[in-house]
Amino acid sequence: MNPCIFFVDDEPRILQSLRRLFRNEVYEIHTFENPLEALDAIMDARPWVVVSDQRMPRMTGLELLGKVRDLAPETVRIMLTAYADVDVAVGGLDSWTVNVFLKKPWDDAELLMEIRNAIKYHRHLVGGGPEPGQGM
């Protein structure tokens, strides 16, 4: 089973850019414009990593990642958001709601590296597992 990653952002062009960036990776990618739909899918898909924007209608990224932490504590939570939300994101780091904070616009190489690190950390939390692309 390949690592599952959720990307949550209310801007379709951001999600399209993220899908394009990860198209050659061996990850199972799910994108959501609605954070409530992402939350509903958490229990079925059991994502290894959730990457969320902060400012979204219906629910903030911090609220979403807090619920992810409660439902699936082994899921690594990354906030990818604009500079204006830095104070909010730092509060999320302090409360362990957010594991990693990255600013938009992101650097592709940095984002890819952080996702790889998050997958390694998830694998450590759950006690090992095969490398991506190797199956079980």
Q: pLDDT tens, 59-110?
A: 999 999 999 999 999 999 999 987 655 666 566 555 567 888 888 899 999 9
Which CATH number applies to 4-125?
A: 3.40.50.2300
Tell me what pLDDT residue 105 has: 92
pLDDT confidence of residue 82 = 79
pLDDT of residue 131: 52
DSSP 8-state symbol, 24: T
Q: What is the mean predicted confidence (pLDDT) over 4-26?
A: 97
pLDDT at 132: 47
Confidence of residue 112 (pLDDT cuts 50, 70, 90): very high
The tokens describing 69, both together, are 């932490």
Query: What secondary structure, in 3-state letters, does 114-136 show?
Result: HHHHHHHHHHHHCCCCCCCCCCC
**Residue 53 pLDDT more than 50?**
yes
Contact 52, 8 (CB under 8 A): yes
CA distance 53 to 44: 22
Check residue 128 and give its pLDDT: 66
Domain boundaries defined on the chain: 4-125
